[in-house]
Amino acid sequence: MYAIVDCNSFYCSCERLFRPDLQSQPVVVLSNNDGCIISRSDEAKRLGIDMGTPLFESRRRLADNRVAVFSSNYNLYGNMSLRVMDTLRTLSDDAEHRCVEVYSVDEAFINLAHLPIDRLQGFAERLREVVVQWTGIPVSIGIAHSKVLSKVANRIAKKNKQQTCCVLVLHDEAAIQHALESTDVSDLWGIGRRYARKLKECYGINTAWQLRHMPQEWARKKLGGIVGVRMIRELNGEPCIPLKDPLEKKKMIATTRMFGKPIFTLHELEEAVATYTARAAEKLRRQYGAAASVDVFLVYNGVAGQPYAYDPKHLYSRATLLQPTSDTAALIKAAVPQVSTLYRKGAKYLKAGVVLGDIVPDDALQGNLFGSSAGSDRRALMQALDNINFSMRDDIVKFAVSGLTRNWKMRQEMRSKRFTTRWDELYEVNGNL
DNA sequence: TCTGGGGTCCTAGGACCC
DNA sequence: TCTGGGGTCCTAGGACCC
């Protein structure tokens, strides 16, 4: 059996930890650049505020209903996520079994193969209790024979908090049938907008229960090949998506951002790309990797002075390195010249990104006849850089090409303090609390 | 005026090899 | 004039996830 543990309205729950006055108030959290609403408390959901709506469209409704609005604070959420995941591991792993797969910042799968069926409910209830006690974050838990079914269980648990107390074990056939009959195909994990529409319009398949009874060969042809076959089997309770090895490394590392405001000059674009490259290189070194390709892309939308229409266009290029590296300077040297190749004067740039690819472990690097020797001094330099930036303040030491003014930096006008990761922003307790 | 960021997996098709 | 078969590797693009 598999469990999926999912933090309820995760970002909103994090904000509430340090604002107990908002416990039963509507809360939303915005995406980077304060663009869209990406997390909503139950109260906000009930107000009809949809996931992903742009802030400017909902400003009125937010104000009318006194919704607390926060910019995203990834330092806080990342740290709270670590605490939740540590708690899950403490309660689920034992000497022989590593059972937890961290699936996203607010979700984890747990392999429960070693627990007898009659102990699942109790285990889940205790898990939920301890997580909220140790971290303050409420979670929902779904348990079933496969990952896809556990997702179904989780969704139902979360939707019916009153009856389920956020825990649902889907085990006997009758319960599974009932659950699948009440689940729309579009709500299945692995069925996106495209497939949902195709299933409904072309095949008249509306519920997960109907989909479960389709033949695997049909799924192979019509539902993304092997992916579709797995979906049918998982729905039938046959696990086909195993737990992922936590030691697996990323195959690509990207840093991409919208600008705080549109920019026009080559110089500013180069600054941004250099900055993103440095950030991506940090992530790369954190997993002891080296990259052999550096992709750069720019997104622009129209030209200055013309009427506004949202129709973004992409420019994309790639540089391939002779030798994989994690050296920020070398990666910047590969990335920045691409900007001038892509650049078109007069265009209004909204966004840029850097993607590091062809990643290999950095301890297995081949020497190169034409390159400098392995460069352990460079590696030491990069380590020193990372240590300083980590312990002092983001980017206190940086490459000059990254720029000093940074007019393009993203907007975060309503960000809470980084309560758990910065000494100078610690939560203060005073007499009024 | 204002629309997020960071990933994964799979398939089809072309290039190339013997 | 006739013009195979089997395989690998790579890339672009589509679909999905949170």
DSSP β-bridge partners for residue A142: A4, A168
Average pLDDT, integer, range A140-166: 97
Q: Which nucleotide is nearest to A104 (CA to C1')?
A: C18
Strand C contact nucleotides, protein CB < 7 Å: 14-18
A367, A321 contact by CB (below 8 A): no
Closest CA to A180 of A165, A166, A194, A191: A191
Range of the domain at A200: 78-131+138-235
A242 within some domain: no
Q: Taking all atoms of strand C, which protein residues have CB closer than 7 Å?
A: A 103-107, 151, 188-196, 224
Whether the CB of A251 is less than 7 Å away from nucleic strand B comes out as yes
A80, A137 contact by CB (below 8 A): yes
Shared domain check, A386 and A277: yes
> pLDDT of A84-116, one tens digit each?
999 999 999 988 888 999 999 999 999 999 999
Measured in angstroms, what separates residue A217's CA from nucleotide B12's C1'? Answer: 19
Query: Residue A346 corresponds to which tokens in the numbers above?
Result: 């007069």
Measured in angstroms, what separates residue A225's CA from nucleotide C7's C1'? Answer: 22
Shared domain check, A57 and A193: no
Shared domain check, A224 and A83: yes
Shared domain check, A107 and A175: yes
Shared domain check, A198 and A322: no
Whether the CB of A71 is less than 7 Å away from nucleic strand B comes out as no
Query: Residue A213 corresponds to which tokens in the numbers above?
Result: 């009874």
To the nearest whole number, what is the mean pLDDT of chain A? 91
Q: Which nucleotide is nearest to A105 (CA to C1')?
A: C18
Measured in angstroms, what separates residue A112's CA from nucleotide C10's C1'? Answer: 40
Query: Residue A102 corresponds to which tokens in the numbers above?
Result: 């961290």
Measured in angstroms, what separates residue A337's CA from nucleotide C2's C1'? Answer: 52
Whether the CB of A227 is less than 7 Å away from nucleic strand B comes out as yes
A362 within some domain: yes
The reply to whether the predicted model has a pTM over 0.85 is yes
Shared domain check, A210 and A272: no
- CA A27, distance to chain mean position in Å, is 20
Average pLDDT, integer, range A257-279: 93
Number of structural domains chain A divides into: 3
The enclosing domain of A38 has a CATH number of: 3.40.1170.60
Q: What percentage of chain A exceeds 90 in pLDDT?
A: 74
Shared domain check, A198 and A95: yes
| Pairing status of strand A2-7 against strand A107-111 | antiparallel
Q: Which nucleotide is nearest to A308 (CA to C1')?
A: B1
Contacts of residue A265, defined as CB under 8 A and 6 or more positions apart, other chains included, come to: none
The CB density around residue A343, as the number of other CB atoms within 10 Å, is 16
When pLDDT is cut at 50, 70 and 90, the band that residue A304 belongs to is low
What residue spans of A160-241 are helical by DSSP H? 161-164, 173-181, 193-203, 208-212, 216-222, 226-235
Strand B contact nucleotides, protein CB < 7 Å: 1-12
DSSP β-bridge partners for residue A139: A7
A248 within some domain: no
Q: What is the CA radius of gyration of chain A?
A: 24
A22-36, A143-157, A185-199, A364-378: least confident range: A364-378
At position A306, the amino acid (one-letter code) is Q
Report how far residue A323's alpha carbon sits from residue A133's, in angstroms, rounded to the nearest whole number: 49
The enclosing domain of A270 has a CATH number of: 3.30.1490.100
Query: Residue A379 corresponds to which tokens in the numbers above?
Result: 């590696």
Is the pLDDT at A267 greater than 70, yes or no?
yes
Residue A123 pLDDT: 97
DSSP class of residue A352 equals: E
For tokens 């209903």, what's the residue?
A65
CB-based burial of residue A365 (10 Å sphere; 0-12 exposed, 13-18 middle, 19+ buried)? middle
> pLDDT of A127-145, one tens digit each?
999 999 999 999 999 999 9
